[in-house]
Amino acid sequence: MFTQPKDLTEDQKEEYSRKLSILFHDPEGSIEGIFVALHHFFVSKSFDPKVIATYFDSYWKWYVSISWKTVLWHDKEEFIDIFTYQLPTAFMLDIPVEEYLLSYLHRHSISLPDLHTYFNKLKSEFLKRSVRINPTIENSPTISEIAKQYATKKNKTNIELANIYAHIEGWLYHKDQELVFVEEKKQTQNVVAFLELLKFFYEDGDIEVVIDEYLETLQGPFLLTHIDEDVIFGDPKLSLFEESEEQ
């Protein structure tokens, strides 16, 4: 059903989405097998934007959802592809990307040198690949273009920054392309988190400091769980990466 992408009717897309939701809560389910099949499919297509656009509101959306729901399963090379190519869509789907990213880096680093080596590789691949923020919109900018533009925000007026936010929100949450319902306020919060994450990558932020601060927000054993929304998106800190410019 999920393993070989094909054209689907709207009714079929709804049916598949319901079945996938059930599999997420079934310990005997085949989520891992579905991930492997979809990951192999998109890798075999070299993450071609035209292929992604074709299956954007079906197999691509499901692939992204599965990838992040099972984020700790993936090896480091898989995660580079997942993070690099899926990031904008993950924000569209209202996935807590920052939290999952920090959880993954923490769990998969055996030492501080290992953490920094892998993070630098992730960052390098992320910024050099020409991934568009929305593959279904031909004139949408690439991730690296947005990161470079936003990283110079200190030299921009409030009006210029507001225009950047508005453009990004329009590309992430296009009115004719709603992957999932996300309230307008949350859309704005996600745009801020998305831009601060890009800025952190572009400006060589200290990932060790951010992970330490993140761990301090958790209570009890370190688990991959949702933390309170105010911790991630509440004022005055709208992003787990937002304070990096002051360090």
Low-confidence ranges of the chain (pLDDT < 50): 219-238, 244-247
Instruction: Specify the pLDDT at position 157.
Output: 79
Whether pTM > 0.75 for this model: the answer is yes
Q: Give me the pLDDT at residue 242, please.
A: 63
Task: Supply the pLDDT for residue 223.
Answer: 40
Q: Please write the tens of the pLDDT for every residue from 106-125.
A: 999 989 999 999 999 999 99
Eight-class DSSP state of 71:
G
Question: Could you check whether the bond before residue 236 is cis, i.e. omega within 30 degrees of 0?
Answer: yes
Closest CA to 198 of 148, 133, 158: 148
Q: What is the CA angle 144-150-153, rounded to 5? A: 155
Picking from 206, 196, 41, the residue whose alpha carbon sits closest to that of residue 120 is: 206
Per-residue pLDDT tens for 123-169?
999 988 889 999 888 888 998 888 887 777 667 778 888 888 888 88
- Rounded-to-integer distance, Cα 156 and Cα 150, Å: 9
Burial (CB < 10 A; 0-12, 13-18, 19+), residue 183, is exposed
**HSE-up (13 A, CA, CB side) for residue 243:** 12
Q: What is the pLDDT of residue 231?
A: 30
Dist CA 134 CA 49 (whole Å): 9
Q: How many residues does the chain have?
A: 247
CA angle 207, 133, 227 (to 5 degrees): 45
C-beta atoms surrounding 166 within 10 Å: 12
CA atoms lying within 13 Å on the CB side of residue 99: 23
Query: What is the rounded CA–CA span in Å between residue 55 and residue 36?
Result: 17
Q: What are phi and psi of 30, to 5 degrees?
A: -115, 35
Residues 6+ away with beta carbon under 8 Å from 236: none
